[in-house]
Chain A
């Protein structure tokens, strides 16, 4: 309820201003949303839609924005870039939405973001983590923390809590995502004054990591950093166990390892793996606990990171519309960068470049018995 309480005075003030126009008070303010609602990747889009709708209920129960209820017009991108572009054109052209939420994945944003930017309609990604998203233009925002912000938090926790000083770094050198994670790791290690004993590479499709792991073992690192997708990362972790590298040598992973699949593939070899995550279901915090309980009650399933990010984003957007005083794209764009919000991901505000500014909500997780829990 604390979110609503915080929003209420803003909403009231805005409602007073808006009452001059009064006549259309009952018409909803309709936002657009482009998400993957069908096809193989639709679990991401559905989770996001659930998060939006849960927040939408709360906003409307508390009186909506500017005295009008808020609504969302959903368009399905099916994970297809062209379909995402068409969806954005349709939402702007025929539905006249003042703001668009989504799309689900970075590739879609790189295609559809420029369209919204050109039409001067703000577009807010809730799950796009690639480098360069907000560089598309001044109307492109994102509320999801890029990997470059999460890895430093993870490494700092490993240094401060576990006393990790010298590390071995391993990454897949044939995959753009893994390489960009490695670049962040390398820069962060230098900044934190941690020593890199060796840097080993492998291929995303490799199955044999014994040569690299034998070399790493002989160097006696405090921890092994891995930047890779979950399948090869699991293989590296299995090789670590097979070659008898002690369990006290932790594996610290990039976002690729932040997946329940890691435990499924690597089994107990994955125990003790450390990753950073923008959100964690078990976070002890009244806002988060309420969100998890409400989500379970409404959808009969557990929320994930995508639902959590979407949930917060809708409140952030609602606040911006209230602050803007009118459902006007230009005014909302200017109001968004000033929003300060406390949600399930922690404190939120935008940087001047429209990326999330605050990393205090990042949870450092540790795998135990195939499941991630908070690192004590």
Chain B
């Protein structure tokens, strides 16, 4: 049972990590807690659902399609909602409130269009196939989640650390004004980051929708709460931290439910969140807080 619980924890951690990646990237670079992120998650799942359901696309085509479409929507939403505030150098609170309002509006619209009932991927897409490996149970969707998470983390690390584009993203995150003076195309980088975040959120939505085979407009809202916990544990804007914190939360929750009491499962994650904010406000894995210029 221990090995199975360990696997459960890793899988659930991969889900959290995948979700939190785009969220923390958006914060790290754009300096805004963008609450519309949960919406990208739901929207991605819906795009993939319609692509497989009506256009009969296979899931390997529906996943990138959903990421692309939602990524483009994210650029549009960011420009529409936050662009004017960025140019006016409005305080962070205004940005937060704008995204909060937009999120509520967009969720209501989605609910009006799609209804709140749970939808499923067509049986051809969701086989629910499961394998026994050394006495452990793992489903096809879970293997897909772990592989995609690994691929995305690797790809993102490469982009940020090894490419010129990554350098400009990091520069913008460090100091927007200085980066612009050094010739970084700020609005281009902002759009790129919005796109990557939206696409990551959408990909997470597709994979998680596939894993639990339950898609409905508010699925992103449910993930946001855990997403917050993960990015705060990992340190806001810290990509490596978000991945580690995702796995930590997944394992912690699983072992609490498995060996302590399932009623404590949710409490333990948020207890850790509060403790982190008290004792290590810059995140479990972050450097000690340095006042940024």
Contact = CB atoms under 8 A, between A and B. Distances in A.
Interface of A: 173, 200-203, 205, 207-208, 210-212, 214-215, 217-218, 231, 234-235, 238, 241-244, 261, 264-265, 267, 269
Interface stretch (B102-110, B152-160, B256-264): B256-264
A271 to B, nearest CB: 12
Interface stretch (B30-38, B87-95, B207-215, B276-284): B207-215
A269 B12 CA distance: 21
Given A215-B1, A241-B130, A269-B128, A235 B263 contact: no
Interface string B44-83: 0000000000000000000000000000000000000000
A214 B128 contact: no
Contacts of B256: 211
A42 to B, nearest CB: 15
Contact of A243 (B118, B137, B261, B262): B137
A375 B35 CA distance: 48
B197 interface: no
Contacts of B219: 207
B168 interface: no
Given A235-B214, A241-B130, A242-B130, A211 B263 contact: no
Contact of B8 (A211, A234, A244): A211
B27 to A, nearest CB: 24
B118 A210 contact: no
Contact of B214 (A200, A234, A269): A234
20 contacts: A200-B257, A201-B262, A207-B214, A211-B8, A211-B256, A212-B257, A212-B258, A212-B262, A214-B5, A214-B258, A215-B1, A215-B257, A215-B258, A231-B118, A234-B118, A241-B130, A243-B130, A265-B118, A265-B120, A269-B128
Contact of B265 (A211, A235, A238, A269): A211
Nearest to A239: B212
A205 B222 CA distance: 7
B168 to A, nearest CB: 37
B137 A211 contact: no
Given A242-B139, A261-B118, 4 more contacts: A201-B261, A244-B137, A267-B123, A267-B128
B254 A211 contact: yes
B213 A243 contact: no
A100 to B, nearest CB: 32
B11 to A, nearest CB: 7
Contacts of B261: 201
A245 to B, nearest CB: 9
Given A242-B128, A267-B128, A200 B262 contact: yes
Interface size class of B (residues with CB under 8 A): 35 or more
B253 interface: yes
The 9 closest A-B pairs by CB, nearest first: A211-B257, A210-B8, A211-B254, A218-B1, A207-B212, A244-B137, A200-B262, A201-B263, A211-B258
Contact of B212 (A202, A215, A235): A235
A238 B8 contact: no
A173 B265 CA distance: 12
Interface of A is mostly: helix
Given A215-B258, A242-B130, A244-B137, A208 B12 contact: yes
Nearest to A231: B118
Given A173-B263, A210-B11, A215-B1, A244 B253 contact: no
Contact of B4 (A205, A207, A214, A269): A214
A150 B270 CA distance: 38
Interface string B3-19: 01100110110010000
Nearest to A202: B262
A243 B4 contact: yes
Contacts of B263: 173, 201
Nearest to A266: B213
Contacts of A211: 5, 8-9, 12, 253-258, 262, 265
Contacts of B137: 242-244
A24 B123 CA distance: 64
B128 A238 contact: yes
Contact of A210 (B120, B214, B222, B254): B254
A200 B208 CA distance: 23
A215 B214 CA distance: 23
A52 B114 CA distance: 33
A330 to B, nearest CB: 45
A218 B5 CA distance: 11
Contact of B208 (A173, A207, A267): A207
Nearest to A212: B262
Interface in B231-274: 253-258, 261-263, 265-266
B1 A210 contact: no
Contacts of A203: 266
A201 B267 CA distance: 13
A241 B257 contact: no
A210 B12 contact: yes
Residue picked from B117, B132, B139, B253, most chain A C-beta under 10 Å: B139
A173 B1 CA distance: 25
Nearest to A214: B4
B262 A244 contact: no
Contacts of A242: 128, 130, 137, 139, 142
A10 to B, nearest CB: 46
Given A201-B263, A210-B11, A215-B1, A238 B213 contact: yes
Contacts of B128: 238, 241-242, 267, 269
A210 B136 CA distance: 12
Contacts of A200: 257, 262
Given A215-B258, A235-B212, A244-B130, A208 B118 contact: no
Contacts of A218: 1
A283 B262 CA distance: 40
Contacts of B254: 210-211
Contacts of A215: 1, 5, 257-258, 262
A42 B4 CA distance: 46
Given A238-B213, A242-B130, A208 B15 contact: yes
